[in-house]
């Protein structure tokens, strides 16, 4: 039997049940437990999986040391701060760390460095300013030349473009300079 997603499996079990197949026969056919069959009949959507507990790491013993190094680095001049490589070497030399790769230490340092800065009140400055546009307050206007193909001939026209900031609605009007014809049908 081809491998199917849990949603497809639940749909198939529900179809079999509507066709009159017993729960035990359905469980045997799809090689699932009767609890899975009853779950499928109770709801079309499978329950979310419980998150796995975090796995312990060999690095766990050294995380407080790394955090202390990062905290002391906050007051150090920029050129004298510890890099992930220097932290890794220091853990090897001074704290007897074995069985932990540089990549694991580098990943933890990259994850913790901004958090340590934020905990100390030195996080990045929030520079995002949301824009607010009240109706009728602002618009963007532009005026320039545009060449269009009119009845098979290139014609230079003047194009007026207006965009309202609140609604985002745009209005375009063109004027043929040679004939004085207004609005050649280019309005958007």
**pLDDT tens track for 45-57:** 888 889 999 889 9
What is the percent of the chain where pLDDT is above 70? 91
Its pTM stands at: 0.46
Helices in the chain by DSSP H: which ranges? Answer: 6-18, 23-30, 34-42, 63-73, 84-95, 102-119
Question: How is residue 32 written in tokens?
Answer: 């699932």
How many other C-beta atoms are found inside a 10 Å radius of the C-beta of residue 45?
A: 10
Per-residue pLDDT for 155 more than 90?
no
Asked whether the predicted pLDDT for residue 2 surpasses 60, the reply is yes
Predicted pLDDT of residue 179:
64
Q: Closest by alpha carbon to 186, among 153, 152, 147?
A: 147
């Amino acid at each position: 039997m081809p491998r199917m997603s849990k949603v497809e499996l639940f749909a198939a079990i529900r179809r079999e049940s509507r066709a009159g197949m017993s729960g035990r026969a359905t469980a045997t056919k799809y090689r699932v437990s009767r609890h899975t069959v009853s779950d499928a009949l109770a709801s079309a959507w499978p329950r979310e999986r419980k998150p796995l507990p975090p796995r312990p790491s060999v690095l766990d013993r050294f995380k407080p040391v790394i955090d202390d190094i990062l905290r002391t680095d906050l007051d150090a001049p920029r050129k004298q701060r510890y890099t992930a490589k220097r932290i890794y070497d220091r853990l090897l030399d001074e704290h007897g760390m074995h069985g932990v790769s540089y990549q694991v230490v580098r990943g933890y340092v990259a994850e913790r460095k901004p958090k340590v800065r934020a905990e100390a009140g030195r996080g990045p400055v929030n520079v995002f300013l949301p824009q607010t546009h009240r109706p009728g307050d602002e618009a963007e206007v532009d005026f320039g030349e545009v060449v269009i193909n009119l009845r098979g001939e290139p014609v230079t026209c003047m194009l007026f473009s207006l965009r309202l900031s609140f609604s985002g609605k745009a209005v375009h009007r063109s004027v043929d300079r040679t004939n004085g014809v207004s609005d050649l049908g280019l309005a958007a």
